[in-house]
Structure 1
């Protein structure tokens, strides 16, 4: 239905004004989607006015009215919240914007933009798992009806927060395995401001033993809720079970995270004892790219890049990534069952040792295609003491 008439001052006592009043009083007027140029009036004595310019007298209702929209919300910090925004027709895209309650800013900040949920594409609701202090403010749901149209906004929803009844953690420490002397980070971040952070430690062999208070400090970060602890160089005596405790608002209870295991290991130097050299093979053949290490590795990776790249900043393409095979976990060899034209290039075997973050690379292997029928070469390097001895012996014979 048309519920409002808006006229410029110069038209308020004209025939057009009378026509607009009649339209407003009409109970049989079409109240659906109206063309921007004209209004069609049905079953009324004002039929001579069946085509009136809308720009002069009628303000149309919002194209997509909301069937369900969240009202103002009051929640404790750290609690979940569902902000509803369901529309009576399908929409192209959803958007939620935010702005502070007591601050005037030029443009609200776009927090989320996404496709509507459901088969009917009418649900633009969002859920916040844990409300944070900085999320207090005015939230507005907007919808885009068509691909190139602007967003139509609903009435804003004001989210007001009060101090938490129970302190919660948005980040907790996790089990990690770190090489001796390497840096490490145990995360511990609360949902609200913290007055004090405490870390306890106990040995791995005595998990039931009472924890020893080893660190006590003030929280850091913009909202004073970060209690994470960083180790610049992990030592063997720091191996154990670590727990974070946060002391928050006077009215909130003291909260502790589950214990996290910090394991320290002695890093082992990884050496490649076997890896393929340059290979010449015809397309359609099969070949095994050899890669064997001197000690156990967690993960193998084979990358490829063209021999003559079109750009200097070419990133190698990861072709395969898999756990090392064999009883001792040292074999990272990779087999090409059918060599294709696009396989010609530089192949590199990389391995990641136990507890390591970075991959270690073997010398590259160049794979070149030859004409069918040409004998192919599939040499590989053997970096063993026996191989070095044989190489030196051959030099002596010469």
Structure 2
């Protein structure tokens, strides 16, 4: 091997070693990637209060530029597509629409996380219950579970409670500032700390724009009974009764599902100014040549936290949609021994039976959902059951006969 080749290999090794020892311009590059994570983290926690704690991380510059484009073209800050294809039904008119609200889609998507224990016990039997089925025929699987919810009286929609996800933003900020202060204390280098402080201030300001609250819960306060579902083939339907709520407590979820945003000129101006400031910070970071690993550490911690915030499931009250199960004792006036009443849930091994039981209790609810789960023709006895002229006694008789016929079929299959 020629001496020049040895010199070339040595130079390459020195360059690699120098880059890993003291990365150059790496933080400025990282600031422009990961904007989608920042966007989702902001959509999750912003709007709840005047100051929203969101970590300074990689991706903020990319997000700031995209926020200007979104604010100017669509008048939106929450420029995230819905994470689930939710169908929204007006149970009084029977009208349905596809949801365009990111917040409403997140509520339904995370239902397995926040569903009450009464609902979970019906659709997900515990291991203790499974062991009790040993050498016995287990109960049939629930085909459709419809849970009835109402708006809470103690919390207003659009005023989310602060949970661990929200408060963790302050804790992460303190950790980042502590890490950034290390080179200041050890080497009298203030650049890393000042950059972190500036980035944190810009992040908090970006997350605290007034439009976050106005857009996130942009809906009328009209009481309305609404059903939310992922559609045919899914196991759950969430019904939120607004007709029984006090004035100003209920949020019109059908209106929220439209995904409309208020037109605020101040947002266009603010996002433009913030984008300029973020670009200024990006240019400033290119001049930092020493102790850059501390900046990478600060950005990495913030990115990890924003990833958690963006995807963490939360309770409805933390999302600004405070709903609770309707309980028969409290709502009818017959308090149970526990003082809370029995939760109103409809769950059957057949989808049709669930809709029928729902219709018997809440007139019009089951009929509004029927075309979604049964778009085709019905059997003769089902058509007779859904005929408006059929009496209550006849409907009860038809449903009982349908259950008996199904039991006979199941017995014939198992024999």
TM-score by length of 2: 0.20
Task: Point out the structure with the larger strand share.
Answer: 1
Looking at both structures, which has the greater relative contact order when contacts are Cα pairs under 8 Å and sequence separation is at least 6? 2
